[in-house]
Amino acid sequence: MKYSWEELEMLADILAAEAEGRPVDRKEAGRLADRLSQNCPDIRRTMDMVKKRMVA
């Protein structure tokens, strides 16, 4: 499995900011989740949930 640690960290920062109530770039979060779901099949289901949340 090929992980992109930088992209995982970026998405984690966005999700943490959202949890704190700060404004986030939802398009970027969705883009990162999409890319991670393609590159890391083991976390695809979780990334699909993130993508759905970011378009809601």
pTM score, whole prediction: 0.87
* Helix or strand run (H / E) with residue 53: helix 44-55
Q: For residue range 6-49, what is the model confidence (pLDDT) as tens digits?
A: 999 999 999 999 999 999 999 999 999 999 999 989 999 999 99
pLDDT band at 4 (very low <50, low <70, confident <90, very high): confident
d(CA 46, CA 36): 10
Burial group, residue 56, by CB count within 10 angstroms (0-12, 13-18, 19+): exposed
